[in-house]
Amino acid sequence: MPSAEVFPRRSARPEPAAVRKAVIGASIGNAVEWFDFAIYGFLAVYIAANFFPSDDDTAALLNTFAIFAAAFFMRPLGGFVFGPLGDRIGRQRVLALVILLMSAATLLIGLLPTYSAVGVAAPLMLLVLRCLQGFSAGGEYGGGAVYLAEYAPDRRRGLVVTFMVWSGVLGFLLGSLTVTLLQTGLSAAAMDSYGWRIPFLLAAPLGLVGLYIRLRLDDTPEFTDLSTADKVADRPLREATRTSWRPILQVIGMFLIFNVGYYVVFTFLPTYLIKTLEFSKAASFLSITLASLVALVLTLPFAVLSDRIGRKPMLIAGSAAFALLSYPIFLLLTSGSLAAAVTAHCLLAAIESIYISTAVTAGVELFATRVRYSGFAVGYNICVAAFGGTTPYAVTWLTAETGNPRAAAFYLVIAAVLSLGTVLTLRESAGKPLAAT
């Protein structure tokens, strides 16, 4: 068993009401952030038509996904900036700052002029704002996960932290529902003209709500104890890379299938159903809505299970399921039946739920309080930049180049095998106190 020096007990456990407040504050803000970030993917077809020359639909869509990916390359920079900042000044202040940046960037995307109005300046401005979104997101996910982990009781940490994941899926679902309602209520011409802007403009009121909630949160007991004892790291990023390089590498490997699976299910497939399988836009958005609901229903129960049986069994099950079942599920997806395609989409969402219900908790448990925000944010954001944001572009390109509509399945299988290998190197951490130093 770990010694008391490595895993010191908190001076006082947070009351249940304080834990609930932390969960609500972090989750609502995170849902707003991921609504803002995700609607770009749901509206990719409209963005391609408005921001790139329309003579080649595939090229325009690839350019749209390239800008989608560019935002992810900014996420490590956000992690390098916001992670150490959170380890120095506290988690709550940084979480308030990142939601403000995300909401402002999203609102401005909704106000941008199109390619027909200003030419090449339009996609350049879109690129800048997406990069600002990515910079903000680099501090959001890791910070929120760390915030909840440091409030959670040891034996319920999986459930508490996974509200961060759950609320991210909720943000995706709200984005999907918003786009679906707009498509139902507006004509195709209206959606192409101005309807695509409406979800981006919603960032202003949603962001203000999220900011208000986060400004009313307290910082975590773990960080407060560290600060009171004057043990806050002076250079947390340097300390993290020097003392926690192995956990950082483990996070990168562990989150490979997390990110590839997430962005295949929630970003690539809605467009794939339209462009490759030639289903209607309404059918595509129905499919992503149902898949999101599946993830929402399953993720928290799986998190409870991870608290009971451990992190490693859940991670092994999720990565193995992707490795073994991705190709058969893509056979079902491409069978020509809409019902089969929707079923396949939901099955992939269910497998993703097994993995995401546990990975974030397992990741933050690898680091000590002094460098937890820095270490997790750096590892997670390097992985998401390399294998998350690039996934829609990579699998779209692979599908087009090979002519194989099931090319994305092979991408999933490779990612799953690599993550499974990483998971096997982890030590079980369920139920154990967090390390302070």
Closest CA to 161 of 63, 279, 259, 306: 306
Closest CA to 162 of 365, 392, 371, 348: 365
* Coil, strand or helix at 346: helix
More confident residue, 347 or 15: 347
Report domain extents, the chain: 16-222+236-425
Question: What is the Cα–Cα distance from 66 to 114, expressed in whole angstroms?
Answer: 17
| 37 vs 118, residue with greater confidence | 118
Predicted confidence at residue 437, as pLDDT, reads 66
Q: What is the mean pLDDT of the chain?
A: 89
The Cα 388–Cα 80 span in angstroms is 18
CATH number of the domain located at residue range(s) 16-222+236-425 in this protein? 1.20.1250.20
Q: What angle do CA 299, 302, 303 make, to 5 degrees?
A: 85
Please tell me the pTM assigned to this model. Answer: 0.85
Exposure string (b/e) for 390-412, b if CB count within 10 Å is 16 or more? bbbbbbbbebeeeeeebbbbbbb
pLDDT digits (tens, 9 = 90+) for 225-248: 888 888 888 899 999 999 999 999
pLDDT tens digit string along 332-370? Answer: 999 999 999 999 999 999 999 999 999 999 999 999 999
The angle subtended at Cα 119 by Cα 118 and Cα 120, nearest 5°, is 120
Classify residue 177 by burial, with Cβ atoms within 10 Å: 0-12, 13-18, 19+. middle
Which pLDDT belongs to residue 125?
93
- What was the pLDDT predicted at 3? 39
- Segments of 325-365 assigned E as strands: none
Choice among 20-24, 37-41, 319-323 with the minimum mean pLDDT: 37-41
Q: Which pLDDT score, from 0 to 100, does residue 12 have?
A: 58
Q: Amino acid identity, residue 166?
A: W
Q: Which two tokens stand for residue 79?
A: 């992690």
Distance in Å from the first CA to the final CA of the chain? 16
Q: Indicate the helix (H) or strand (E) that contains 154.
A: none
Closest CA to 376 of 214, 161, 163, 96: 161
For residues 392 and 165, give the distance between their C-alpha atoms in angstroms, rounded to a whole number. Answer: 20
